[in-house]
Each structure stands twice: as C-alpha cells, then as structure tokens.
Amino acid sequence: MLRVILHNVAARKVRMLLSALAVVLGVAFVAGSFIFTDSMGRAFDGIVTGSTAEALVTPDGYEDVINDSGVVSPETLPASVVDTLSTLPQVAAADGNVEAQGVFVISKSGELVGGNGPPAFAFNFNDTVAISGNRILNLVDGDLPQGAHELLLDVDTAEKGGYRIGDEVTLATRGDQPIIHARLTGLIRFGSEDGLVGATLAIFDTEAMQAMFFDGHDVYTSIALTAADGVSQSELRDAAATALPADLVVETGDTVVEEQASGIEEMLGFVNIFLLVFAGLSMVVGAFLIVNTFSILITQRARELALLRALGASRGQVNRAVMAEAVVMGLVGSTAGVGLGYLLAVALKTVFGLVGFDIGQADLPLSSRTILISFLLGTLLSTAAAYLPARRAARVSIVEGMAGQDALTGATSRWLRLTGFVLLVGGAAVLGMGLTLGGEILLIGAGMLAILLGVTVNAALIGRPVVRAFGVAYRRLFGEVGVLATENALRNRRRTAATASALMVGLALVSLVAVLGQSAKLSTDRAIEDSLTADLMVSSATQQAFSPTYGERIKEVEGVASVAVVRTAMATLDDAAVSVVAVDPTIFGSVVDVRLDRGSLADVRGTRVVMSSSAAATHHLSVGDEFSIEVNDRLGRYVVGGLYSGTGAVSGDVLMSLDQLAAAGGDAADTMLFVLADGSVSQQAVRAGIEDVLAGDPTVNLQDQDEYADQQRAAINQLLYLIYALLALAVVIAILGVTNTLALSAVERTREIGLLRALGLARRQLRTMIRLEAIVIAVLGAVLGLVTGVCFGIALQHVVASQGVDVLGIPWLQLAGLLAMAVVVGVLAAAVPARRASRMNVLAAIAAD
Amino acid sequence: MTDLLAATARRAEPARQVAARTVDLRKVYGTGDAALAALDGVSLEFVTGEFTAVMGPSGSGKSTLLHCMAALDTASSGRVYVGDTELSGLNDRKLTRLRRDKLGFVFQSYNLIPTLSARENIVLPLAIAGRRPDPAWFDEVVDAVGMRDRLEHRPHELSGGQQQRAAAARALVSKPAIVFADEPTGNLDSRAGAELLSFLRRSVDEHGQTIVMVTHDPVAAAYTDRVIFLADGKVVGDLREPTADAVLERMKHLSSAASGATGIGS
C-alpha cells in the first residue's frame, strides 16, 4: 500500500506541490517568526549578560533598562556608598555608574542616529567586569575621554554617524543644554559580541556625566560590584547588604539578568504572538487550499479508488492511503517551510536593521523547538485538511466510482448549511451582545469568528446573487464564453465557495483594518480641526521627551503669546498601565479644547485630577472617588475631579498639572509644546524664530496644524502598511488556491475542453473562459470579504469610539481598489491554467479518460 | 483503382459538387524504424448530399482519416480540401473557425457539455460564433430528433440515445457543409442506434446534408449511400447502395486480406 501512496504522490507532483506550497508558506511564516525572535532574544541576552556585574546596588530596585521608555529615576546614590563598599573584604572593585537616557547622537549630516524606538544611552566610563567575564566597556581604538568636551562612541554608532576619532560629535539631550558638542577620542565595543539592537552609547568620564546630568553632585545611579577571589555572588550580595543603608537595594548579577530576561522574553513574546497571529491566519487560509486540492484529486481518482476497493482494499485502507499522502505532503512542505522560514528571518533581520533595530552579528538560531513546532503544524495542517476528503474517498460507492460518473455535485449538505446559518446568526448575536456590553473584546472576537465561519460554510448560498450577477453581465459582454464560464463556476459550488472563502478571510481582515485606519485618520483630522487652536506644535521625533529649555526659550520668541507644555509619564493603576498627561491647566485650555464631561480644568489642583471617561469606566471610578497611581515606583493618591472624553490632540488616561507630576516623581522633560501666536508679527516670522531655537536638533519637529495632521495620518498609515504587508501572505496563499482550483478543474474537464475546441471554440476564447471563471471566484471572495470586513470594521469602530476614534470612515476608494485588485488577481491566477488548457491537443483531450 | 472509380463517378455526375476531398493523404506516427503509416496515400472525394460510411478493421486508419478531414489533426503529407479550402495552409485560428462554421461533429460519447441544457448544447457552435440560430430550422431539427420536450434538461438527465440525438441536432443546426460522425451509435442499443441513423438518413434525403461516418457496424453502414473500406491506411474498396449483408461479406474478405488483422471488431 505504501508503494501505491508514494507512486501517487510522485505521479501528481505538480498538483501536490501547489497544495504543499500552502503548507510551505504557512510553516515558513511560523518558523521565520520563531527564528527571528530567538535571534532577537539572543542579542538582548548577550547585551544583558555582557553588561551586568556580579552584584548591583540601586536606589530602589533595578529598573528595566530595555523596556523603559526613557524615564530615568531621579534617585541617586551618594559617592560615600562606593567608598564604604570598596572597603569590604568580599569586594574586589566597586564602580559607580552614572547612566542617562535620551542622549541622542546626531550624525555628521545632521540626522538622528538610531531613529525612534531604540534607547540612546550615556554612561560614564569604568572598567567593570560583567558576569560574562569580559569588561562591559572595551576601548578598541583611541584614548579615554576627559571632561565634558570629550567622549567615546560605540563602534556601530560612530560608523552610522560618520564619525572618526578626532571629529566633533553633536548630541541632543533633554538636559539644560539641548545640543552639546564633544570630541571623539576613541571607540568602544560593548560587552557582547552582538549588536546593541539599535541602541546608541555615548561615554563620558564620570565627572562630566555628573556635571551634565546631576548638576555636578558626586552621585551615581547604580554601583557595580566585582567579587574578590572565591566570593560567590550571593556572598557578595549579603556582605554589601549588611553594609548598606536600608533604602538601598543590592541584587546579584544573576538575579538582575533573570529579571531582565523575563522582561525581554515578555516583550519578544508580544512580537512573536503578533507575528504568529498572521502566520496562523495564513495557515487557516492554506487549509482551505489543501481541502480543496484533496477533494478535487479524490474526485478525479474516484475510479482508481473504486478499483482498489473492488480488488479488496477496505475503507480503512483507502482512507489511510489518502491520509498518508497528506502526511508525506505535510513533511515535505514543512521541510521546505523551515528552509524558507530561515530566509524570511534573514529578511526580517535586514528590514529591522534598516529601521534601526540592528541585531548585528547575532546569528539566526534554528532551535529544536522551532523545528518541532514547524513540522508538527505543517503535518497537522495537511492531515487535518485532508481528513474530510479522505473520508469521502473511502465512502465512494464502488459501482459509481468504477463508472466514473461526472460529479455534478456541490450542494452543501443540509446539516452543514444549518450549522453555517446558526453560526452566522449566533455570531451576529454574540457580536451585538459584545457591543452593547461596552465592548467586551472576547465576545466581539468570538462573534466575528463565528460569522466568518458561517459565511465560509454558506459561501455558496450567500454568494449566489454575486455569481448570478456575473452570469448576466458575462452573457452580455462575452456571449457564450461568458455563459460557459459562469456555468463552470456554478458547477461545483462548494469548490468555488471554498476557493473564494480563502480569499474572503484575507480580504475581510484587510478591509476591517482599512475601515479602522480610515476612521482613525478621520477622527484625528476632526479632533485636530475641532479642538486644536494652537498655531504651531513642537513634538518629539524620538517618542521620548526633549529638553525643557526649548519651551522656555520659545516663550521669548517675538510674536509668541504663550507656550503650553505637555509632559507625559507611564503609571500603573490597579496593576494596569495608564498614561498620565501633565499640562498647565490655566493655559492649556487656550490651545486645546478639552471636552469635559464633568467638572472643568480648574478642578485640577491639590490632589484633584481629571480622568478620561473611558479610563474611569474601566477602573470603575467616578467624580469624587479616590485612587492611587504609581509613577516611577512612587505611589501617589488622587481624587477624580472631573471627566473628559478624549482631548483629541492629546490623549491620556489621567490629566494632571505639571506641578502634580513633578511632585509625583515625573521627569522634567517635555513631550509636546503648543504655541499660540499673538498676531503681532507674521506666522512665518514666528515660525522662523522658533526654528532658530530648535536649529540643529533632529529630535524635535516644528509643525503647523496641517503638518501635524499629516504626521498623525502618516503614523497611522505606517501601522496600516505593516499590517497589510503581514496580511499579504494570506492573500498570496489564497491566490495560489484559485490557481490550483482552476488548474485542477481544467484537468478534470479535459474532455469537455477538447469537445469545445472541436466544436470551434478558439484558443483565445478558451483562455477567456478560464479567466472569466477565475474572476468570478476572486470577486466572489472579495465581495464576501469586503462586506464582512466592513461590517466588522464598523462594529470595532464603535468599540474604540470612546478611545478617540469617534468618526466612522469607510474608505470607499480603497475598497473599490481591492475589488479591482480581485479582478487582477483572478486574471493572474488564471494565467497558467488558461495557457495550459489552451495548449491541450484537441484529439488527445477528446480521447482522454 | 479507387482513383479511377472516383474519377468515373465524377464524370458520370458532373453536376454534383464535391463537399470534401483528400489527395494522396498520408499520416505517419513516430519516426525512423518506429514510423507507422496510419494513412498511406488516400485520395477520396465526398460528394455533397451523400451519406458515406468509412469502414475497416481496427488500425486501418479510418478514425485518422476522419480526424484529418475534420481539421482535428494535421496530415503528414498530401492535401485535404473542405469545399475549396485547403486545410494544410491554415493556422489554428482559421482551422478553429472552419470547424465552427463549416463542420459538424458527432462523437461516440461525451458529446455534450454537462453544465449546459440540451437546448444550449444544440446551439453551442452558433453561440460560440456569436450567432443566433434560424428559429424555423432549429424547430425543424429539434422536432426531427424528437427532443422538443427535453430541451431544458441537462445531459445527465438524458438517456444515451437522447444525448446522441441532441449531439446530432447540434451538428446539423448550424447547417454545416459536412458532418463527421465518429461511431455515433457505438454506445447505443440497437433501437436507439436505429433512431439516430434514421435521422441522419433523413437529413441527407430531405435537406441534402453531407455526412461522413466512421462505423464498425454493417447494419449502420446499410443506412448510407456509399461505403469506403480502408485497410492498413489504404482505400481497398468502395461500395455503393450497400446492404448489411454485402458490407458484412466485404468485411470478411478484408479481414482475411488484412494479413491476419484482428477482424472487424464489435
């Protein structure tokens, strides 16, 4: 029996290959995601172990450097602690670290090195040895810096910035001096061999760091301890702990690494899950393709399978034979998929490198877990997809099968149809329930899934009007060729529907995202139009705060009436992350129209703050309620003084005053400035004046309302394009599905095609016929997908309306474009099958079995 | 001798038009030592308004002859004329158009497109050409084959005989210059076969249709005006006003003459 199976697979190489391609692509996506995130993890781990000493003393626990969005704890350790620690017999060396973030290197050509995302660090130089046994900072070229006018850069940053030793390096900081210059005296390599994942390092001597970031106080942000010979990490920690004041924390290097590693794992886990969601989607779409292929192959082989049965093969044997074919396909597909996944990871690495996340020399590890998961998924996918066709194959009646009757079936069984209907109605009900219950995301997701499944099962029924419409149009436009194409699409409705469904799933998600994106853009536009009265905005290009001196100096520019400063902080409320926005409540109202549902901005004083209505609802708070939030590890108690519904231009969960934030331990750096002109000089003059203040600093942008709106739209677009790119794979697999179905049905209809040719159907007409059939399938999939996707989009827009996306936007032009794309997809998918069919020898085709 | 016969026939009835003819037609399959001549210098004329049967043992080349004449296959050498058109000079597009506009076909089986109704199948060649059938002629043909009440049925709802009659109606409805039938009764029982052959006979008698039919069956051959016998790719006989017995007699000689060939088949 095994030989029969292998012969079958070999004999149908091309067809098998096409459906194996679905497995290959799906598995490649999964394997690529794992390989890539493993590689990132390795790079981060390298950094962590390469930069952590045997024990670390911090003011209040260690902050997760990599997850931190750029907030530096203002708390420090006095220099006396270093002296105390270095006298301990267990301590070989105690090095004080001075670390600052948001010190951006500006390249020779005036561009920001690193871009927005990865952190920009400044350290003092010391020769601490990491637990890896290497020094954390290794001088590879030049000399150590001395004083505030000399620095070191890491090799990669220097190269990206175009700097050589001796050059004057420009830096942007959030300190009192936004732009500083220093001479490059040498290059360092960070403790690990791998890249810094895009982070940049600027190294000064200790005094210079203290002068720049701590007003010259002899303080440190942490102290690294190196153990004396024969002293373990825990002995080192215990010794240090007894010598230290109670408010200081000492942890072993291993603990620090562990803490950081779990943080990194969590972050990479998100990246991985994000990628795997799309991988999963591709696999689901691929499953449609495999089910279809096996169904068609089995229909074609009904005679052969019946013969096997007549010769004494049991149902089980026939069933197993078909399943075994699926296993072979799954194994072959998975192998190729892992290989392609590796290439995909290389591509991802390159793309991430281009946008600033450089994982340098880190290799791409192919772990046994990746291989196991890939093969398991690939094989499960193909066998699960082949199960139903295999069962049907075993049930083939021997007599009917031997007669080789033309299968004109395609009606969905009543039971299945009912299930589909129930899914559809039930899904809609669950979705509606989720919406009315204030956006229960689980209910909404389950409802959507059920609806999608329901549409898939009943695609033949639901899509009938679409196909009929095509029938009418085709008859008019293409005459008999159009009629034949429509009839072919209708011949096996289940097959047409399954093929179209694969496309539907992809396009439903694309149009869902498109509707949400358009709504977000329109909402942003309207929010800016309705609520923003400022003439000019200064925003950060790095998503991190910038120097507060800009705001001070812009106030002095001629023609500026006022500058409203915005600062932000991340805080935790009931263990959930909330964003805190701080403004001057006396002037903020003049630049942004804050829509208050309850209370007013004047309520922001003392311990009273205002809260966004959606955050208040989530945390079950109302006006007058007390709550506590933690900013920079410091707990603060507040009272809800009022509620606002989305400020439009500035969104946040909690709105407080600048003084309140400073008292809470927030960072004294700005994230946004709103500038109001007084009209005494022209807008251009005001702009020129502000540009002078910001000159030479690429970490800040100056924008008017239109530019600001453009930037917001561009940010939304960027996210949309990323999602589209990831969804593209599912669409590509669906296109393969259309090609496969057409190719297989052309083979199935060989005699019919021969007859048509004999009766005078020209080659061109035959090609047109197959193309038209493909267009029916593709457009059917597109229409179903677009309609469900737009409905889902509208539903989800309601859910996020309270989070600022309060305008529904349906991108008609884009949707029309998708529909047009479906036609193109149809034509492309039909290209090969149409050519092959038209080249068929007429006589051979007529004589075909 | 056959050339002479054909020439005599032409001289005897000069008013008759030639619907199709072949001149020294050869068809060789394979090359070198493996080369096999399916047709070995066949020269024939088919006169308009005549019902001709082509007979011969398996491998005699009768199907190849039909395929070459019907523009479904190309000759290795020699010429085929349909009316005044010589086929070897035509490309695929022109051959396709010729089949569509000038020729009608009835195959042994699988004559109908399963997705189309009987009516749609009957008018298919016209529909492909973008033409409408002449309604009077359509009605006449449909009534003649007795398909009036089955027109809206799909092929799988029709009996084998009905399917073949629909195929015959299709072959005639476009008023082709010549109809080629390849063992049209091969899959039918004798009654259904007789019905189909009577219909073909009437279309020749009443409408002057030209039909060339390949068959194994002496009874079927008896419906025709003329039987051409092939053996080993050559014309070996030409019988006019055939009867089943005469055909059977001739076939017996052929099978013994054809160097131990497998006989006349079923």
Residues in B touching A479 (Cβ below 8 Å): 127-128, 130
Among all residues of chain B, which has the CA nearest to that of A765? B128
Q: Does B128 touch chain A (CB under 8 A)?
A: yes
**A765 vs A773: CA distance, rounded Å:** 12
Decide if A58 contacts A30 (C-beta within 8 A).
no
- What's the confidence (pLDDT) of residue A358? 63
**A112 vs A114: CA distance, rounded Å:** 6
Residues 63-82 of B with CB under 8 A from A: 67, 70, 72-73
Among all residues of chain B, which has the CA nearest to that of A760? B100
Least Cα distance to A337 among A734, A14, A34, A12 occurs for: A34
Among all residues of chain B, which has the CA nearest to that of A491? B115
Confidence of residue B11 (pLDDT cuts 50, 70, 90): very low
Decide if B50 contacts B225 (C-beta within 8 A).
yes
**Residue environment code for A210-231, b if the CB has 16+ CB neighbours within 10 A, otherwise e:** bbbbbeeeebbbbbbbbbeeeb
A153 vs B6, more confident: A153
Residue of A759, A761, A776 to mutate when probing chain B, most B C-beta within 10 A: A759
Query: Rounded to the nearest 5 degrees, what angle is found at the Cα of B199, between the Cα atoms of B195 and B205?
Result: 140
Decide if A179 contacts A170 (C-beta within 8 A).
yes
- What's the confidence (pLDDT) of residue A66? 29
- Would strands B103-106 and B51-55 be described as parallel, antiparallel, or unpaired? unpaired
Show Cβ contacts of residue A695 under 8 Å, excluding neighbours closer than 6 positions: none
- What's the confidence (pLDDT) of residue A250? 87
Question: Which residue in the set A406, A481, A759 is minimally distant from B114, CB to CB?
Answer: A406
Among all residues of chain B, which has the CA nearest to that of A842? B72
Q: How many CB atoms lie within 10 A of CB A605?
A: 14
> If you search the block for the tokens 């699926």, which residue do you land on?
A326
pTM above 0.80, yes or no: no
- State the count of interchain CB pairs (< 8 A) between A and B: 79
The ipTM (two decimal places) reads 0.80
Residues in B touching A760 (Cβ below 8 Å): 96-97, 99-101, 103, 125, 128-129
* DSSP 8-state class, residue A848: -
* Bridge partners (DSSP) listed for residue A611: A643, A654
**A71 vs B68: CA distance, rounded Å:** 87
Question: Which residue in the set B73, B111, B124 is minimally distant from A480, CB to CB?
Answer: B124
Decide if A124 contacts A158 (C-beta within 8 A).
no
Least Cα distance to B14 among B56, B43, B35, B45 occurs for: B45
- Would strands B178-182 and B103-106 be described as parallel, antiparallel, or unpaired? parallel
> If you search the block for the tokens 């772990």, which residue do you land on?
A367
Q: Do A760 and B92 touch (CB under 8 A)?
A: no
Question: Which residue in the set B73, B96, B154 is minimally distant from A760, CB to CB?
Answer: B96
- What's the confidence (pLDDT) of residue A675? 93
Question: Which residue in the set A408, A759, A842 is minimally distant from B128, CB to CB?
Answer: A759
pLDDT lower than 50: segments of chain A = 61-74, 405-411
Burial, A123: exposed, middle or buried (Cβ in 10 Å; 0-12, 13-18, 19+)? buried
Confidence of residue B152 (pLDDT cuts 50, 70, 90): very high
Show Cβ contacts of residue A13 under 8 Å, excluding neighbours closer than 6 positions: none
- What's the confidence (pLDDT) of residue A293? 77
Length of chain A: 849
Decide if A599 contacts A612 (C-beta within 8 A).
no
pLDDT in tens, A686-732: 999 999 999 888 889 899 988 988 888 888 888 888 888 878 877 88
Minimal C-alpha gap between B249 and chain A (Å): 31
Burial, A381: exposed, middle or buried (Cβ in 10 Å; 0-12, 13-18, 19+)? buried
**A609 vs A641: CA distance, rounded Å:** 5
* Bridge partners (DSSP) listed for residue A703: A537
Q: Do B116 and A763 touch (CB under 8 A)?
A: no
Q: Does A491 touch chain B (CB under 8 A)?
A: yes
Alpha helices in A556-674 (DSSP H): 585-591, 613-618, 658-664
Q: How many CA atoms lie within 13 A of B84 on its CB side?
A: 0
- The 3 state secondary structure assigned to chain B is CHHHHHHHHHHHCCCCCEEEEEEEEEEEECCHHHCEEEEEEEEEEEECCCEEEEECCCCCCHHHHHHHHCCCCCCCEEEEEECCEEHHHCCHHHHHHHHHHHEEEECCCCCCCCCCCHHHHHCHHHHHHCCCCCHHHHHHHHHHHCCHHHCCCCHHHCCHHHHHHHHHHHHHHCCCCEEEEECCCCCCCHHHHHHHHHHHHHHHHHHCCCEEEECCCHHHHCCCCEEEEEECCEEEEEEECCCHHHHHHHHHHHHHHCCCCCCCCC
Q: Tokens standing for A617?
A: 């609802």
**A174 vs A183: CA distance, rounded Å:** 20
- Would strands B226-231 and B51-55 be described as parallel, antiparallel, or unpaired? parallel
Helical axes A705-748 vs A812-839, angle rounded to 10°: 30
Which 3 state secondary structure label does DSSP give A36? helix
Show Cβ contacts of residue A77 under 8 Å, excluding neighbours closer than 6 positions: A57, A58, A59, A96, A219, A220, A221, A222, A223, A248
Decide if A216 contacts A587 (C-beta within 8 A).
no
Q: Does A475 touch chain B (CB under 8 A)?
A: no
What distance lies between CA B210 and its chain's CA centroid? 9
> If you search the block for the tokens 């990194």, which residue do you land on?
A264
Q: Does B129 touch chain A (CB under 8 A)?
A: yes
* Bridge partners (DSSP) listed for residue B21: B45, B81
Q: Do B92 and A763 touch (CB under 8 A)?
A: yes
Q: How many CA atoms lie within 13 A of A50 on its CB side?
A: 16
Least Cα distance to B164 among B224, B119, B210, B109 occurs for: B109
- Whole-Å CA distances, A472 to A225, A468, A477, A766, A817: 82, 6, 9, 19, 23
Which 3 state secondary structure label does DSSP give B233? coil
**A516 vs A504: CA distance, rounded Å:** 18
Residue type at B253 in one-letter notation: H
**B72 vs B83: CA distance, rounded Å:** 17
- The 3 state secondary structure assigned to A273-284 is HHHHHHHHHHHH
**Residue environment code for A277-305, b if the CB has 16+ CB neighbours within 10 A, otherwise e:** ebbbbbbbbbbbbbbbbbbbbbbbbbbbb
